[in-house]
Amino acid sequence: MRKVGLTAGIAGPLLMVGGIAVALAQILSDPAYQCNESNCPPSGSHPLGLVMFFTGLIATPSGWILYGRSLPTVTALGVEALPASAPRDTQLRLGVVSLPHGGWGVGLSTLF
The model's pLDDT over 25-40, given as tens digits with 9 standing for 90+, comes to: 888 877 666 666 666 6
88 domain residue, yes or no: no
103 domain residue, yes or no: no
Number of domains in the chain: 1
Mean pLDDT of the chain: 78
51 domain residue, yes or no: yes
pTM over 0.85: no
Within its chain, how far is the Cα of 29 from the centroid?
33
110 domain residue, yes or no: no
Please report, for residues 31, 32, 99, the alpha-carbon distance to residue 45 in angstroms, rounded to integers and kept in the order given. 12, 11, 62
pLDDT tier at 46, thresholds 50, 70, 90: confident
48 domain residue, yes or no: yes
Is the separation of the CB atoms in 55 and 41 below 8 Å? no
- Residue 79 has phi, psi (to 5 degrees) of -110, 125
